[in-house]
Amino acid sequence: MQIAFTKMHGLGNDFVVLDARDHALPPLTGDVAAALADRHTGIGCDQLIVIEPSDRADWRMRIYNCDGGEVEACGNASRAVGLLIGGAVTLETKGGLIATRPHDNGIAVDMGEPRFEWDAIPLGYAMDTLAMPVGWPVGDGALENPVAVNVGNPHAVFFVDDPYAVPLAEIGPLIENDPIFPERVNVNVAAVTARDAITLRVWERGAGITRACGTGACATAVAAMRRGLVDRTVTVTLPGGPLTIAWDDHNRITMTGPATISFTGSFDWGDYA
């Protein structure tokens, strides 16, 4: 069975997008998602995205990390789907309802409200989420006291002097899989460089180091705002480029940035299932 796909990215965080708005796909399992996402034997991407009908929003967006796990949110993919569909779009995700609209700087996404309660992250037990009383040894120092925040998906945000000096490939998986995070976690290492500027790198849950992470940018921005380190609109610069994040007086996060269609193609479902 031939299936069409659109290859897309947001600042280099890339996606294989399957459009099932007017026809159902064959049953999609985590194994099929991981096979399609494999950069050696599949099409290759950080996340596999499926657009399908919804009875709660215009459409439903399903997100599979390249490890095959289905997850709640993906900021960069939200912009990609918004670009693909066009106009103002509401999307149902496992992490809640979001809304996209065209913007002068690409696509703007209402990412909803951040959650800071320990059991909403979730964490394994009650603790201060503004500075978790934990640390992980790194070299002759440590990554410690992260902010924990849920922006549809779980994030730990560490503020450091230089994100590019952190051995993220080494420490990322250890933190991602620490039992203190029952649903694992996305690991953000960030430096505040001005009241309106943050530099960020991300080890993504189920995907590893990516060139950009939209939810990571949202999580890091509101974490910095909660600590009083930045104003309520900031530019978060990732390896793939900048995103603008605003946290408004109605407690809603807006993320604005580019989305790109790379190419279209098709594959035989039988090659992967």
Q: What is the DSSP letter of 170?
A: H
Based on CB atoms, which residue is closest to ligand API, 42 or 257? 257
Report yes or no: 81 and 54 within 8 Å, Cβ to Cβ.
no
Instruction: Count CB atoms within 10 A of the CB of residue 166.
Output: 23
Report yes or no: 9 and 264 within 8 Å, Cβ to Cβ.
no
218 tagged catalytic = no
Based on CB atoms, which residue is closest to ligand API, 9 or 143? 9
| Residue labelled with tokens 């939209």 | 214
Based on CB atoms, which residue is closest to ligand API, 71 or 230? 71
74 tagged catalytic = yes
Give Cα 108 to chain centroid, integer Å. Answer: 15
State yes or no: 204 annotated in a binding site.
Answer: yes
State yes or no: 76 annotated in a binding site.
Answer: yes
Report yes or no: 133 and 145 within 8 Å, Cβ to Cβ.
yes
In angstroms, the CA 5 to CA 140 distance is 46
Shortest spacing between CB 198 and ligand API, in angstroms: 15
Based on CB atoms, which residue is closest to ligand API, 117 or 269? 117
Per CB under 6 A, residues contacting ligand API are 13, 46-47, 65, 71, 74-76, 153, 186, 204-207, 210, 213-215
Shortest spacing between CB 22 and ligand API, in angstroms: 26
Catalytic residue (one of 45, 66, 74, 218) = 74
Q: What is the DSSP letter of 251?
A: S
In angstroms, the CA 150 to CA 132 distance is 14
The binding site for substrate comprises: 13, 47, 65, 75-76, 153, 186, 204-205, 214-215
The binding site comprises: 13, 47, 65, 75-76, 153, 186, 204-205, 214-215
Question: Mind telling me the catalytic residues?
Answer: 74, 213
